[in-house]
Amino acid sequence: MKFTWKHLAAVLAAASLATAAVAQQRLFFGIATGGTGGTYYPLGGMLAQLISNKATVDGKKISATAEAAGASVGNAQLLGKKDIESAFVAADILDAAYYGKGQFANAPLKNLRALGALYPETVQLITRADSGINSVRDLKGKSISSGSPGSGQYQLLTDLLQVYGLTRADVKEDLSSFTQAVDKIKDGNLHATLITAGVPTAAITDFAQSHALKVIPLSGPEIANLQKQQPYYASVKLPANTYKGQADAVDTLAVMAVWTTHDAVPETMAYEVTKALYENTAIMGQVHAQGKNINLQTAMAVGSVPFHPGALKYYKEKGLAK
């Protein structure tokens, strides 16, 4: 039989219908994470894979994707504009965004809803071992990166400097990503960087392989004063040997990462993705050590921001909420 353009048109039409049918059988769900040198990115990728493998709504598979994004502040703004279905946001930034404080002053994002708490993000103030920097106070006149203005540690740097009697004008600011910042420290073009992420953090691990590092302690009366202002920050110890050459445990701070969504996401979808995560948490530990800290027992430790009804339904089924 001679193959004509009519046959080709029929084949293309059939293929188009088949593609449309497949698309109709899938629901799309995005997860905004952070830079590739942090912890949000690998865990977000594993979470997307988990949801895609496990979650359905009314017989339709949920197809989830993880997207590198601008970290906590930027992620909250994406959710506020409903530009993505979910995102990882640090608990202090989530609180500020919902109630209109700090970088969200007079512009509260009241449509934000929590899906569940993930894992503690550790504050790590990193410098070279020979930098002469031993305290936040020693940063005066030095260069430091706190990441982009869309990151949680950007606000934290302001707060840290303040309790030590300094301001951002007292330091030379750099807005590099985690990976860019440690590369600059290696090259002698930056004195320090503030990184808030799950440990071990890939960018710091890389730095420690070739350079002697120092993790600056965050403790004492100044930090206690900061915690009065920022109650979401808990005192923790960075375990010894988290990084090459870091022989001793270091006093520092940590804040919970929260999986967040917005109120326009359907209840059934929020329920299914929440269930997919907290009934398969062991999978998350396969990609990063912090994935092992994601568990149902701490899932509701999100602060005072309201839960999405779909997530709350799941927690009620598990006896965690009334």
pLDDT score, position 308: 98
Model confidence at 1, in pLDDT bands (50, 70, 90)?
A: very low
The answer to whether residues 155 and 76 touch, using CB atoms and an 8 Å cutoff, is: no
Average pLDDT on 164-185 reads: 94
pLDDT score, position 4: 52
Average pLDDT on 219-242 reads: 94
Q: Is the pLDDT of residue 120 over 50?
A: yes
* Tens-digit pLDDT profile for residues 87-112: 999 999 999 999 999 889 989 999 99
Q: Is the pLDDT of residue 14 over 50?
A: no
Q: Is the pLDDT of residue 8 over 80?
A: no
pLDDT score, position 150: 64
Q: Is the pLDDT of residue 82 over 90?
A: yes
- CATH 3.40.190.10 domain extents, the chain: 26-119+256-317, 122-255
Tokens, residue 316: 């009620």
pLDDT score, position 38: 78
**Domain boundaries 26-119+256-317, corresponding CATH code:** 3.40.190.10
Q: With respect to CATH, is domain 122-255 assigned 1.10.579.10?
A: no
Cα distances (angstroms) measured from residue 301 to each of 166, 266, 306:
32, 22, 11
* Tens-digit pLDDT profile for residues 123-166: 999 999 999 999 999 999 999 998 777 677 888 899 999 999 99
Q: Is the pLDDT of residue 75 over 90?
A: yes
Q: Is the pLDDT of residue 78 over 60?
A: yes
Calculate what percentage of the chain has a pLDDT beyond 90: 76
Q: Is the pLDDT of residue 70 over 50?
A: yes
